[in-house]
Structure 1
Amino acid sequence: MSTGPRVVGTGPNRVLAFHGWFGSSAGWGHFPEYVDQEQFSYAFLDCRGYGRRKDVTGEYTMEEISADALAAADALGWDTFHLLGHSMGAFAMQHLLVAAPERVQKLYSLSGVPATGGQLDDQVLGMFSAAPQSLEARIGLTHFATGSRLPDSFAARIATESQANSTVEAFAGHLLPWARGTDISEQVRGLKHPVKALVGEYDPALTEEVSRATWLEFFPDCEIGTIPNTGHYAMYEAPAWLAASVEEFFLRRV
């Protein structure tokens, strides 16, 4: 199997897609099926220890994800591109923005960890810390992140895919870098790249209020909003809607 990104589409509008802590290049639900493959090319990336790169070890930092993403773009021959980041992946994509702002066109954050990092308190961090070794903990966190309103089969799917597509070492290793990672808000503050930051209506942690205090505060050309009838996993909960939203934003004239 290739260790490169999963590329979907052959269009001129290029997108680097960063998965979340529970995700992988295969962890985007039905979203890839609804993208416009004639207008867009999506490179769905894998962090080290995830998906196609499950056998690749590393330091498991946001800086490493950023550097690997730039290397993947170079290998694809992409000089400039849009960024799409889910959850942890949105924090990682902001590290890439800091490292290579001249290569980034627009950013779309989906239930994204802001530039401050997750800033999880001890109690919440304890809940997350059980997840690398426990499928039940992953299921519980998935229910929590989607507002405890979806069937057990949904949470089990997200959790099982997560366990199958990442090593315990990589999953555990990536936790603190996003949950209590270094605040880079002063490094992104004032950058003029267009940003869209959406959250799910039923996501209890990454809310529109959080977006207003972070994304909207840091980026002068930013729009925020809420995706109706979704929690933390809009690519599974509302994939067609998400594809339309992402592509409308990336195609919109500045």
Structure 2
Amino acid sequence: MTSRVQANGIEIAHDSFGSPDGRPLLLIMGLGSQLVHWDDEFCQLLADRGHHVVRFDNRDTGESTHFTELGVPGAGGAAPYLLKDLADDTAGLLDALGWDAAHVLGVSMGGMVAQQLALDHPSRVLTLTSIMSTPGPAVAAPTPAATAVLLSPPAHGRDAVLAQALETWSVIGSPGYELDRERVARLAGLAFDRGHDPAGTSRQLAAILASPDRTERLAALTVPALVIHGEDDQLVPLAGGQATAAAIPGARLLTFPGMGHDLPRPLWPVVAAEVAELTSR
């Protein structure tokens, strides 16, 4: 069941898996995505490996606070907030959960937020797992095809949104694995019903583009880190994961052929095992 807490001056929706006695593991989702995009089955795999898993809606997604009054960022206009603000939201959520520190796992934009959290709130991060992410958008530019779907005009109406989701993931998903069309449509429908907000996604994208590159600062991290990336990612190419791992001292880089900008179901047990190995050190 989803709960809501006050954190960093906003309301954040979250839920959890596993025993409260487990190792605290916070999952941070990517651009425009909601907590439901962390599949229940994947979260349960992590819980079964000894974690108390919490997933949540970032600001401007799902059932957390939406900054509707800020509108859609104009071309060349100032971003209404930065990744630093999303990291501060995440630290506020840790406070609300009563967690002094947690193992943190982020995908795509969530990986950027996880990196920022480790930089700005180092005492709160026990281990860092950054998946399909990058220390800065200029490090790994998306392919023209991925750029086209990322910047395509938002669809209107539930059926059109589901169709657009299928089109998007057929481009940026994992070419080495069959696209699970039922799963994509089901999650897109869940997200639409919980709080569809294309303008919020635009505000998050503006935050990514306006935030400073983290490469130099990441060199100061001492947290154990795991970097996972698909070798066939069109949205954040492999160079993003390579740069992240190279920037963080001692980070382990794990790449998968055929993986694009998603986590294919056959890789879930492998990823869960790798995360558990990191967090149980």
Q: Structure 2 length normalisation: TM-score?
A: 0.76
Check conservation: 2:104, 2:129, Cα contact below 8 A: yes
Query: Taking structure 1 as reference, are residues 66 and 210 closer, same or farther at Cα in structure 2, changes over 3 Å only?
Result: closer
Are positions 1:66 and 2:87 aligned together? Answer: yes
Q: Which runs of 5+ in 1 are unaligned?
A: none
Shift of 1:207: 4.2
Are positions 1:41 and 2:70 aligned together? Answer: no
- Cα distance in 1 for residues equivalent to 2:252 and 2:153: 33
- Cα distance in 2 for residues equivalent to 1:8 and 1:249: 19
Once the two structures are superposed, residues 190-228 of structure 1 have per-residue CA deviations (whole angstroms, 9 ceiling, x without a partner) of 32211111112442343444322x112211111111135
Question: 1:241 matched to which residue of 2?
Answer: 270
Letter in 2 for 1:20: G
Question: 1:145 matched to which residue of 2?
Answer: 172
Query: Taking structure 1 as reference, are residues 46 and 151 closer, same or farther at Cα in structure 2, changes over 3 Å only?
Result: closer
Check conservation: 1:48, 1:60, Cα contact below 8 A: no
Query: Taking structure 1 as reference, are residues 12 and 147 closer, same or farther at Cα in structure 2, changes over 3 Å only?
Result: closer
For structure 1, which segment, 184-193 or 151-160, has the greater mean C-alpha deviation from structure 2 after superposition? 151-160
Question: Matched residue pairs, number?
Answer: 250
Check conservation: 1:87, 1:111, Cα contact below 8 A: yes
Letter in 2 for 1:245: E
For structure 1, which segment, 168-177 or 74-83, has the greater mean C-alpha deviation from structure 2 after superposition? 168-177
Written as runs of structure 1 = structure 2, the 5 A alignment for 1:24-173 is: 24-29=34-39, 30-37=41-48, 39-53=50-64, 59=80, 61-112=82-133, 114-117=134-137, 120=141, 125-130=147-152, 132-133=154-155, 135=161, 136-148=163-175, 149-150=178-179, 152-165=181-194, 166-173=196-203
1:234 is paired with a residue whose SS is coil
- Cα distance in 2 for residues equivalent to 1:229 and 1:147: 6
RMSD across aligned positions (CA):
2.9
Question: 2:74 matched to which residue of 1?
Answer: none
Shift of 1:109: 1.2
Question: 2:75 matched to which residue of 1?
Answer: none
Shift of 1:66: 0.7
Letter in 1 for 2:111: A
2:90 is paired with a residue whose SS is helix
Check conservation: 2:142, 2:235, Cα contact below 8 A: no
Q: Which has the larger radius of gyration?
A: 2
Check conservation: 1:117, 1:182, Cα contact below 8 A: no
- Cα distance in 2 for residues equivalent to 1:28 and 1:131: 25
Question: 1:193 matched to which residue of 2?
Answer: 223
Query: Taking structure 1 as reference, are residues 32 and 173 closer, same or farther at Cα in structure 2, changes over 3 Å only?
Result: same
Shift of 1:12: 3.9
2:36 is paired with a residue whose SS is coil
1:84 is paired with a residue whose SS is strand
Letter in 1 for 2:60: G
Query: Taking structure 1 as reference, are residues 147 and 104 closer, same or farther at Cα in structure 2, changes over 3 Å only?
Result: closer
- Cα distance in 1 for residues equivalent to 2:96 and 2:123: 18
Query: Taking structure 1 as reference, are residues 79 and 131 closer, same or farther at Cα in structure 2, changes over 3 Å only?
Result: farther
Q: Percent identity?
A: 22
Shift of 1:229: 4.9
- Cα distance in 2 for residues equivalent to 1:215 and 1:39: 27
Letter in 2 for 1:196: L
Q: Which runs of 5+ in 2 are unaligned?
A: 5-12, 71-79
Check conservation: 1:117, 1:181, Cα contact below 8 A: no
For structure 1, which segment, 161-170 or 151-160, has the greater mean C-alpha deviation from structure 2 after superposition? 151-160
Shift of 1:31: 0.6
Letter in 2 for 1:89: G
Letter in 1 for 2:137: G
Once the two structures are superposed, residues 60-98 of structure 1 have per-residue CA deviations (whole angstroms, 9 ceiling, x without a partner) of 531221111111100111111111001110011111112
Specify which of 12, 20, 25 is matched with residue 15 of structure 1.
Answer: 25
For structure 1, which segment, 77-86 or 29-38, has the greater mean C-alpha deviation from structure 2 after superposition? 29-38
Shift of 1:37: 5.0
Query: Taking structure 1 as reference, are residues 151 and 243 closer, same or farther at Cα in structure 2, changes over 3 Å only?
Result: closer
